[in-house]
Structure 1
Amino acid sequence: MPRSPLPRRRATLASLAAELNVSRTTISNAYNRPDQLSAELRDRVLAAAKRLGYTGPDPVARSLRTRRAGAVGLVITEPLTYAFSDPAALEFVAGLAETCEEVGQGLLLVAVGPDPGGRGVEAVNSAGVDGFAVYAPAADDPCLLAAIDRRLPVVVVDQPRDLPGVSWVGIDDYRAMRELAEHVVGLGHTDIAVISMRLGDRSCDCPAQLVAEDRLRATEFHGQADRISAVRDAMADAGLDPSGLVMVEACRHVAESAAAAAEIALRANPRVTAIMCTADVLAIWVMDFLRGRGIYVPGQMTITGFDGIPEARNRGLTTVAQPNLEKGRRAGELLHHPPRSGQPVIEVLPTELIRGRTSGPPTG
């Protein structure tokens, strides 16, 4: 039986240059700087490359030579299911991707996984990128600290703010939630509950829990803490006792967790007439839970959210709309074009209070 022929060795820049009797620079220019060659010479180089199986300059070698990876790293410290299911996060990613397309850069999603202090940090350290956008991490998240330690441009989105040497893009969470809380209190609600996103690490083994004062003080999720503080302050300024605010944490980003949080809130204070959620998805899940219990919104319960995602607008949710798409764009622009001064940029984007159909005066 005849032996099969050996596979042809892959052509290299050097072998292609020898085949055409031109310099290696000429071959490189055909791919990277075509304006330096005549159209006839470039066509001859590309035709020979195709015939010999040469696919172009080695991107690894090029990145070593230029010290540029040609990609931006996106670090989302929540599970990947969050990145692809949360509408606000998806809008942010879309805005970031737009800026990458405009400048011809790639977007690398750095998978943190369930072990942010181990494999997550390893993924950040090994990512071949020119900078990082870190989306809403806890202030002490090890992946955030690893990204900063890489000495590359870093833009933090939403939280935490005021990290030394790190640019930040986000909103004024306290002011936005304060305006919403004043609207709810102004409607006449005195018994109010807040359901927040996760306030601590992912080790919590229950779907939802009441928030103790020490947990709120210790949280490294400053955006969530600011939104809760805004509700308490609005109550106090209206002459209400802020200690009566029922605070519940939805420990997981799923509908079951939001439902459990709503049940805990109503059990803690059956007189609650308004539930303020720190995210639209929580508010939508809570409304679905209440409807299953025969509790009508806003007839028997006022519900508010935060984000302004399309589904919230379609369902008439009273919420705060924030520019998630623009957040992604601004984060990308700061990574692609870092300020020449070398000083970090702090950019606060505007929000809008939307008075929807889900809020009204308390009944009875």
Structure 2
Amino acid sequence: MTSKPTLQDVATAAGVSRSTVSNAYSRPDQLSAALRTRILDTARQLGYPGPNPTARSLRRGVAGAIGVLFTSQLSYAFTDPFAVRFLAGAAGAAERRGTSLLLVPLPTDTTQARAAVENAAVDGFCVYCAADESWALDVLRARGLPFVTTAPRDDAGADPYVGIDERAAARSVADHVAALGHRRVALLAESILPGAPPGPLRLAEVGDVPHPTTRGRLAGFADALAAVGVAWTDLTLLNATDNSRAAGATAVAGTITGDDPPTALLACSDVLALGVLDALGERAATVSVTGFDDVDDAAAAGLTTVRQPAEEKGRIATELLLDPPPEPAARHILLPTELVVRTSTRPVPRS
């Protein structure tokens, strides 16, 4: 049997000391960017996954924690209502199995983000929300760590996931809006393209959206509207810089006050939709607004939305990671969703 490459093998191949290789993983600030890149490239070529951060654990190599990976600031986990419910479900399942959660937000800097995934001392990962998760999954495979994603992918293969049919769920609410006669429609999502400013955004096709969840929801909206003769290029696409009420309000400000404003606005989250209602004020009675998730504030605002089971999603994802079923097909779980119609949607106003 071929032995696994060691840290010394990497050092020899790269022409550096063992401590320099170690610093490339644990103390990247001690090396130049070029040297660190050369060492990590050498390690990947040799098939060396990096030092095992759990080996230093006092629990015989077991970290006793699972990582929850998401692309946002750490505060997002405590302020976003859907994330809070998801993590509550995940934490409950982890506690029942004698382990804990390690929240791992990914910095915008790619090198730092990769280091965060490579060095996290965990026994596995739940990939909760990652804009372009392919590279992160490659790192997890290289580390030999189990993982579960919450965004079903066409290329998932045997990778376990728990999620919803984003496209079908989004289409259900867009079908409802289309049936009310709306044809002048705006779509609102968070960070549609990395670094895009708030407000209107031109995108040739929905497939250009990198985030799988956002792409699925926008595609579902577009499917329903295409069925009634509204092409993708006829839709107004609005970008919010983050998933907050303030960002939602900012993103739609110019659109709802301009000439020929949309009669309906479909948001990819309830939080953004609530921001739209804030911006509309009294004009909310003339514009139909929908959200996605059915967070607690949605009912109080009379928001039409798609309900998905947030806590159950977190619970099942954690159980799937810690106690995966032997059959590969049983590791692919789609949860049900429900269209919830409230007062924020109505027929197109008569002119």
> Could you tell me the TM-score, scaled by structure 1's length?
0.75
The 1:319–1:100 alpha-carbon spacing in structure 2 relative to 1, beyond 3 Å, is same
The alpha carbon displacement at 1:94 in A equals 0.7
- Taking the aligned partners of 1:245 and 1:342, their CA distance within structure 2 comes to 40
Match of 1:237 in 2: 227
Q: Which residue of 1 aligns with 2:25?
A: none
Checking the alignment, whether the CA contact within 8 Å between 1:287 and 1:303 is kept in structure 2 is: yes
Aligned twin of 2:199: 208
Matched-pair contact (CA < 8 Å) for 1:165–1:344 = no
Contact 1:199 / 1:224 at 8 angstroms: preserved in 2?
yes
Q: 2:312 matched to 1:326?
A: yes
Find the structure with the greater CA-based Rg.
1
- 8 Å contact 1:304–1:359 — kept in the other structure? yes
Q: 2:327, 2:83 → 1: CA distance?
A: 30
Shift of 1:159: 5.2
When the two chains are superposed, the root-mean-square deviation of aligned CA atoms in Å is 2.2
Cα distance in 2 for residues equivalent to 1:344 and 1:199:
32
Distance 1:279 1:70, change over 3 A: same
Q: Which amino acid aligns with 1:334?
A: L
Give the structure 1 partner of residue 275 of structure 2: 285
Cα drift, residue 62 of structure 1: 4.1
Which residue among 70, 74, 78 is the counterpart of 1:76? 70
> Match of 1:191?
184
Mapping 1:72-221, distance limit 5 Å: 72-115=66-109, 117-140=110-133, 142-158=135-151, 160=153, 162-201=155-194, 203-204=195-196, 206-213=197-204, 216-221=206-211
Q: How far apart, in 2, do the equivalents of 1:135 and 1:107 lie?
A: 12
Residue aligned with 1:213, SS: coil
Paired residues of 1:207 and 1:252 also in contact (CA < 8 A) = no
Percent of aligned pairs with the same residue? 34
What is the CA–CA distance in structure 2 between the aligned matches of 1:144 and 1:258, rounded to whole Å? 30
> In 1, Cα distance between the equivalents of 2:296 and 2:246?
21
User: What is aligned with 1:7?
Assistant: none
Matched residue SS, 2:69:
strand
The alpha-carbon distance between structure 1 residues 114 and 72, as it changes in their structure 2 partners (threshold 3 A), is same
Q: Distance in 1 between matches of 2:254 and 2:158?
A: 41
**CA displacement, residues 131-179 of structure 1 (integer Å, 9 cap, x when unaligned):** 1001121234644432333211100112545334421111001111111
Q: TM-score, normalised by structure 2?
A: 0.78
| Whole-angstrom CA distance in 1 between matches of 2:111 and 2:330 | 28
Q: Kindly tell me: are residues 199 and 192 of structure 1, through their superposed partners in 2, closer, same or farther at Cα, counting changes over 3 Å? A: same
Give, in whole Å, the separation in 2 of the partners of 1:98 and 1:191: 44
Label 1:99 to 1:260 Cα distance change in 2 as closer, same or farther (>3 A): same
Structure 1 residues 61 and 132: CA distance shift in structure 2, 3 A = closer
Q: CA deviation at 1:219?
A: 2.0
1:342, 1:233 → 2: CA distance?
31
Alignment length (residue pairs): 296
- Report if aligned partners of 1:171, 1:349 keep a CA contact under 8 Å in 2: yes
